[in-house]
């Protein structure tokens, strides 16, 4: 991890009184030093004649993002909002675009700056939560589970902050519902989707646009699924949490008791298989994942987990079939591609394995696992 401090990229200086930031700007308080972005990391001084408003705005954004205890933050906020009234809209669009293109580090810097400009803005807090949610999901697909867990924790923190706001917009609960669903926290997912429907219940079908109608239908569908499968059951939740904390044996006991009462819930068979797989009980885990599919699972994760079990049991043909099925559902899933590489490697096909790992790097040049495997090959 880099030890570079972003605040080292700025100067603080008192502007001469002939400098004007824009026609809209507040009257400058020349007693307060302004941050100015350096042109390069090695720059040691600045020529006032070369100073531009953009250098000052960039410096202010850096301070707002990284120096949360600066005594002049309120002044810097007022200054940049007066000079650039559309700055929040512009930065939000830029951050979302960067996140969509998986330029995650830059997107995170922009979201940091946005929260610095307006720390209490619910939309910014929600967008930050969605960003960390997406980043965690992307890292998990690449097999970087520890990093993914850290980003999930950040996502949860910002979703929670947004949900606790006074009169939060409905989308806070719609998006957090999917987050909790991926976390298999069905109790919180149910609560979020129920809150979303409650907050939008005053809208008639005629008043809704197509996106709102889709969200309403999707929320209702998910709630029906949770209710019909008893997924909000405390025992189900306890099993998931125990296995997540490394208490696999206790979690397996809980989920077996749940399955005794709910034998057709595919999610529960998946949880059982997951716990058994973590204990390297490959044969038992394989049977659980097969039962999950038999009970209706069409999830890529189920196919991937089953493929891992087949691989460890030396059932290469079956492992390949599962991975190919998973890739047909998610052709750009780099975790599945990596596992195809592992399978080829296990079968002694180094060149084929290398092709898969190179493909992973085409989709994600920063994939650490694929890079390490290429070096080993």
CA distance readout (Å), 352 to 35, 45, 309: 53, 54, 21
Architecture of domain 234-336: Alpha Horseshoe (1.25)
Per-residue pLDDT tens digits for 176-232: 999 998 888 888 999 999 999 999 988 777 777 888 889 999 999 999 888 876 677
Q: Please give the pLDDT value at position 323.
A: 95
Q: Has residue 259 got a pLDDT over 90?
A: yes
pTM of the predicted structure, to 2 decimals: 0.70
Give the list of residues 6+ apart from residue 52 with CB closer than 8 angstroms, or none: none
d(CA 172, CA 198): 13
Mean per-residue pLDDT over the chain, rounded: 88
- Of the chain, the percentage scoring pLDDT greater than 70 comes to 93
Per-residue pLDDT tens digits for 98-135: 999 889 999 999 999 999 999 999 999 999 999 999 99
Confidence of residue 1 (pLDDT cuts 50, 70, 90): very low
d(CA 289, CA 229): 17
What fold is seen in the domain 92-228?
1.25.40
Per-residue pLDDT tens digits for 292-308: 999 988 889 999 999 99
Per-residue pLDDT tens digits for 10-51: 888 877 666 665 555 556 777 888 888 887 766 667 767 677
d(CA 12, CA 14): 7
Contact 266, 295 (CB under 8 A): yes
Query: 144-147 contacts: CB < 8 A, separation 24 or more?
Result: 144/367, 144/368, 144/369
* Fold match, 92-228 / 234-336: yes
Q: Please give the pLDDT value at position 26.
A: 58
d(CA 61, CA 54): 10
Overall average pLDDT of the 241-256 stretch: 91
d(CA 358, CA 373): 10
Q: Please give the pLDDT value at position 20.
A: 60
Any idea which of 82-91, 185-194, 231-240 has the lowest mean pLDDT? 231-240
Phi, psi (rounded to 5 degrees) for 116: -70, -40
Q: Please give the pLDDT value at position 207.
A: 76
CA distance readout (Å), 42 to 9, 39, 46, 49, 61: 9, 9, 11, 19, 20
Tokens of 62: 């850096």
Q: Has residue 335 got a pLDDT over 50?
A: yes
Q: Please give the pLDDT value at position 10.
A: 84
d(CA 288, CA 212): 38
Give the list of residues 6+ apart from residue 256 with CB closer than 8 angstroms, or none: 272
Instruction: Sketch the domain layout of the chain as residue ranges.
Output: 6-83, 92-228, 234-336
Q: Has residue 3 got a pLDDT over 70?
A: no
Contact 179, 166 (CB under 8 A): no
CA distance readout (Å), 309 to 40, 188, 264, 349: 52, 31, 22, 19
């Amino acid at each position: 991890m880099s030890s570079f401090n972003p605040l080292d990229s700025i100067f603080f200086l008192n502007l001469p009184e002939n400098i004007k930031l824009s026609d809209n700007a507040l009257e400058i308080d020349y007693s307060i030093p302004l941050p100015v972005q350096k042109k390069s990391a090695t720059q040691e001084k600045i020529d006032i004649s070369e100073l531009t408003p953009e250098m000052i705005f960039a410096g202010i954004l850096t301070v707002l993002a990284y120096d949360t205890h600066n005594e002049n933050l309120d002044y810097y906020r007022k200054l940049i909002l007066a000079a650039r009234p559309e700055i929040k809209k512009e930065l939000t669009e830029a951050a979302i675009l960067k996140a969509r293109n998986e330029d995650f580090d830059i997107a995170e810097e922009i979201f940091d700056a946005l929260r610095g400009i307006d720390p209490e803005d619910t939309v910014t807090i929600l967008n930050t939560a969605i960003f960390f949610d997406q980043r965690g999901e992307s890292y998990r697909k690449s097999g970087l589970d520890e990093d993914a867990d850290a980003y999930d924790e950040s996502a949860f923190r910002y979703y929670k902050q947004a949900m606790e706001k006074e009169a939060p917009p409905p989308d806070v609960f719609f998006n957090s519902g999917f987050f909790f669903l991926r976390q298999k926290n069905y109790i919180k997912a149910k609560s979020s989707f129920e809150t979303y429907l409650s907050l939008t219940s005053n809208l008639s079908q005629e008043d809704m646009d197509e996106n709102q109608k889709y969200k309403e239908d999707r929320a209702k569908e998910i709630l029906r699924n949770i209710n019909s499968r008893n997924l909000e059951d405390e025992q189900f939740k306890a099993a998931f949490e125990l296995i997540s904390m490394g208490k696999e044996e206790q979690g397996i006991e809980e989920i077996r008791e749940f399955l005794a009462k709910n034998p057709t819930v595919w999610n529960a068979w998946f949880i059982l298989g997951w716990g058994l797989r973590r204990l390297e009980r490959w044969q038992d885990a394989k049977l659980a994942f097969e039962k999950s599919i038999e009970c209706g699972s069409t999830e890529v994760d189920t196919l991937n987990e089953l493929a891992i079990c087949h691989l460890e049991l030396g059932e290469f043909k079956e492992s390949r079939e599962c991975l190919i099925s998973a890739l047909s559902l998610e052709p750009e899933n780099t975790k599945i591609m990596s596992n195809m590489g592992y399978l080829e490697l296990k079968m002694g096909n180094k060149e084929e394995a290398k092709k898969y790992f190179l493909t992973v790097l085409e989709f994600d040049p920063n994939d650490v696992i694929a890079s390490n495997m290429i070096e080993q090959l």
